[in-house]
Structure 1
Amino acid sequence: MTQFTMGRRAALLGAAGAVTSFSIGGKAFGQGAPVTFGALPPLTGAGGPYGPAMLRAIQGVVEEANAAGGIPTRQGGRQIRVVAEDDQTNPDAGVRGARKLIDVDRVSAVMGTWASAVTTAVAPLCWENRVPLFTVSGADSITLLPHQGYIFRTQPNSRLQIETASSWLLGKGARRVFHLAAQSPFAQSSQDVMSERMRAAGGQVTGFIIYERDKTNFRSEIDQLMRSRSDTVMLNGYLPDVTILLRELFRAGFDGRKFTFAYAAPPSIFQSLPNEVTNGLVTFQPSADVDSGAFRRLQARFGNTEVDPYSAQTNDHASLAILAAAAAGDASGTAIRDNVRKISQGDGEKVDNVTDGLRLIAAGRPVNFEGASGPVDFDERGDIRGTKFRFEQAEGGRFRVLEIA
């Protein structure tokens, strides 16, 4: 069973257990002190629809690893415990949570930050304390920080996301795109890439407005959009503000293409808006590797709960941290950092789950882990090298898949 601890606001799931000895591949290990990992997902706030499932995915991998005997290290076999804090999709709360995880709980890794603003605030605490940070945040600026190799991003960076989105829109005939973006580290980098890509193809960004997310109406922004004669609007925000924007676009009679990130318009948006407001809305997101063994395993664990891309990525965060520690024979943050690429790219035997990976490592064999989110190959900055994207369109109160490319 997983040794699992949570902060007061994150009191969701919990279990604990311990063993005194175990073996992997016939090799016996004594039981050392537990390895502690930190989870910092958004259990509340704008990322609240995703955080609990992200945490559940981490927990499931840790349970599998503990059932297989935990992490074999030079100090003996070590079970794993997870301490979770709610970052509330808020940088201040994220910093408080990270300080507790690092200073009090003495975690070997932090995983699951979602909003780019939170990750940007938390990252210096991690690299200064030599704690790897595994994140699903997309802003380009994150891996440009002087993080000394302690950041691993499974979410494609904003350049890759916006290049993909812009190319798709151009392919559908978009030439005049108006960009409405919530204040975040992601906003300006998104605008820079979109402008560059549209200009190169003979299109243009007809307007760019960064707005405050807590506004209750966006009438002036919508007025500017309507005057721009744009054929497409890119809504680069979060669920609460995008919900308001869609309602106001409908009232204003905007008949162009509406395009946004899937996290800004999850299926729950149909509970807040009538179908005539959402019909035609196109969303896109990085796609999990739905044909992989890792994804099917996660899907089986989740049962009736949908496996979203962020859950697939945090499944891989936990797997990467555990297998890197096992390969190093050392669960320190620096050892994990130095071994992530060794177990996720190269000529090792391909594995799609932590149990098989631990077995092979204990037998002295190299592994190449490929996860639920796809191959987890990182470049020198810690960015994932590539992934597929999923495009869906709202019709009659549900999303229909347009394509996965």
Structure 2
Amino acid sequence: MHRLDRRHFLTGAAGGASLALWPKALLAQDGPRIKIGIIIPLTGATSQFGATMSAAAKIAVADINAAGGIGGRQVEVLIEDDQSNPEAAVRAARKLIDVDRVVSIGGSYASAVTSAIAPLCYESKTVLFTSSGADSITKTPHNGYIFRTSPTVTLQGTRVGQYALELGAKKMFFLGPQTPFAQSYIDIISKLFKEAGGTGEGLIYEDKRASYRTEVDQALRTNPDVIVLGGYVPDTAVVLKDLYRAGYAGKKIGFSFGVNQVLTDSVPAEVSEGTASLVPSASVDSTAYKSLIDKIGKGALDSYSCQVYDHVVLTALALAQAAASSPNGTAVRDNVRAISQDEKGEKINDVSAALKLIGQKKPINYDGPSGPLAFAANGDVEGVFFRYEQAQKGKMALLKVA
């Protein structure tokens, strides 16, 4: 677990904010730190974004505290490693909820992890901000305590299927491990292909195996002209090697959690060559995104890390809007939409400026580095961006944004 403690946050303020900008009524409400939990994969099969997710969370809380905190109270972020494992995630969630008494939990990347911890969150009235895609997550009776900032499986599957059809494919075969979304991908993409006069089939395999040649041979017997890869990096690397050895020359399309630069770095260039990937994109043209990548010291940043930044900021702004003497998950739940989708509010993407306006009782409409943050009634984010990338000579190259 990592803690970020800014004891001297009032001596310097992001974006020019200072002690003088804060209403005396808010500054008088000093008290214990407000705790926000983050559960992310720092280790394991889904850990490719873990380090930058952690960094983004720490930057968010530093930005909040540099702007005076929430009503004069500092924020503390508690980061737990889910180890890419639902059981480890449950242990982490129980600690954050029962021991640390966090008001919200963010991060929550893999759908299996989110599905495991979601009931713990909504039953304890702890808001869960998630970057997972499985549609089932927001179909639970969560009573408004779940907010999803990533596109759903239905949307991602539809985009991949449409892209494969655009490339002229007629026969699709899906290969992926057992996850909460695997069968949904098969159903969604197969339906698109059948409606277009083609065929769609799929196979769900066990992960963490040294070879998938049997599964690959079964897929190739259907003569597919496109194979959709639904796994994470470790098993997708093995599947691609087996496809290469089998001489498959058709199209290959995956998702950002399995086909990314980490994957291309782990296999010979000829193995990944030509493999396309659908990538949920951050709001790369926004000042919020540019500010975050500058603070994190990278030329570009994945959408999931940007979402974690926004998970922390949404919590802080919602609590500031609530002006509650005892911050809790219900206050977060009831005020998220008020600060992120108020059509009359000032469009803003800087947390310091946002906190100042809230302190002045002015309405805001916060959009962060991950993009617009308007939520449907079930908690799903309504505005998303996608990039289409392709492995070319061992590097992921941008094809288009749509």
Q: Does 1:161 align with 2:156?
A: yes
1:18 and 1:79 in contact (8 A); partners too: no
- 1:17-166 matches, within 5 Å, as 17=7, 23=19, 25-28=21-24, 29-30=27-28, 31-72=30-71, 77-166=72-161
Pick aligned residue for 2:356 from 354, 359, 365: 359
Secondary structure at 1:33 match in 2 = coil
Give per-residue Cα distances to partners, 1:270-310, cap 9 Å, x unaligned.
Answer: 33211111111111111111001110111111113641111
Pick aligned residue for 1:257 from 236, 251, 258: 251
Give per-residue Cα distances to partners, 1:140-188, cap 9 Å, x unaligned.
Answer: 0100011110000001110111111111111111111100111110111
1:288 and 1:373 in contact (8 A); partners too: yes
Q: Does 1:342 align with 2:345?
A: no
**How does the TM-score come out when normalised to structure 1?**
0.93
Q: 1:3 is matched with which residue?
A: none
Secondary structure at 2:40 match in 1 = coil
How far the C-alpha of 1:65 sits from its partner, in A, is: 0.8
Cα separation, partners in 2 of 1:26 and 1:39, compared to 1, 3 Å:
closer
Q: Does 1:226 align with 2:220?
A: yes
Cα separation, partners in 2 of 1:24 and 1:220, compared to 1, 3 Å:
farther
Secondary structure at 2:95 match in 1 = helix
Q: Does 1:397 align with 2:394?
A: yes
Gaps of 5+ in 2: 12-17
- Percent sequence identity over aligned pairs: 44
2:10 and 2:19 in contact (8 A); partners too: no
CA distance in 2, matches of 1:24, 1:175: 65
2:177 and 2:205 in contact (8 A); partners too: yes
2:375 and 2:381 in contact (8 A); partners too: yes
More strand by share: 1
1:37 and 1:110 in contact (8 A); partners too: yes
User: Which letter does structure 2 place at the counterpart of 1:149?
Assistant: G
2:345 and 2:363 in contact (8 A); partners too: yes
Moved over 6 A (4+): 19-22
CA distance in 2, matches of 1:316, 1:183: 30
Q: How many residues align?
A: 390
User: Which letter does structure 1 place at the counterpart of 2:349?
Assistant: D
Give per-residue Cα distances to partners, 1:321-377, cap 9 Å, x unaligned.
Answer: 110110001221001001101111022001102111100000110100011111111
Q: Does 1:288 align with 2:282?
A: yes
How far the C-alpha of 1:15 sits from its partner, in A, is: 4.2
Q: Does 1:202 align with 2:201?
A: no
CA distance in 2, matches of 1:58, 1:339: 20
2:128 and 2:146 in contact (8 A); partners too: yes
Q: 1:324 is matched with which residue?
A: 318
Gaps of 5+ in 1: 1-6
CA distance in 2, matches of 1:202, 1:366: 51
CA distance in 2, matches of 1:59, 1:368: 23
Q: Which moved more, 1:164-173 or 1:244-253?
A: 164-173
1:41 and 1:87 in contact (8 A); partners too: yes
Q: Does 1:236 align with 2:230?
A: yes
